[in-house]
Amino acid sequence: GNQVTLRTLDQMKQEQTKIAMVTAYDYPSAKLAEAGGADLLLVGDSLGMVVLGYDSTVRVTLDEMLHHTKAVVRGATRPLVVTDLPFLTAHLSREEALKAAGRLLQEGGAQAVKVEGCNGVLENIRACVEAGIPVMGHIGLTPQSVHQLGGYRIQGKDADSARRLMEEAKRLEEAGIFALVLECVPEEVAERITGGLTIPTIGIGAGRACDGQVLVYHDLLQYGSDLKPRFVKAYARTGEEAVRGISRYVQEVREGMFPGEEHTFHLHASVVDRLYG
Ligand code: KIV
Ligand code: NA
99 annotated among ligand-binding-site residues: no
Which residues, listed in sequence order, are joined to residue 214 by a DSSP beta bridge?
A: 21
Whether 183 is a known active-site residue: answer yes
pLDDT at 226: 75
Please tell me the predicted confidence (pLDDT) of residue 124.
98
Residue 214 CA: nearest ligand 1 atom is: 7
Residue with CA closest to ligand 1 atom 1: 44
Tens digit of each residue's pLDDT (9 = 90 or more) over 134-178: 999 999 999 999 999 999 999 999 999 999 999 999 999 999 999
Q: Residues 6-236: name the CATH superfamily.
A: Phosphoenolpyruvate-binding domains (3.20.20.60)
**Structural domain boundaries in the chain:** 6-236, 241-276
Q: How confident is the model at residue 86 (pLDDT cuts 50, 70, 90)?
A: very high
Range list of H helices, 139-237: 146-149, 159-175, 187-196, 217-220
Please state the atom number of ligand 1 nearest to the C-alpha of residue 57: 1
Tell whether residue 273 is among the known ligand binding residues: no
Residues 229, 178: contact at Cβ < 8 Å? no
Distance between CA atoms of residues 105 and 49, nearest Å: 23
pTM over 0.95: yes
Q: Is 214 in the pocket of ligand 1 (CB under 6 A)?
A: yes
Q: In Å, how far are 72, 114, 224, 226 from 242, measured between CA atoms?
A: 22, 31, 9, 14
How many residues does the structure list for the chain?
277
Question: pLDDT-based confidence at 79, cuts 50/70/90?
Answer: very high
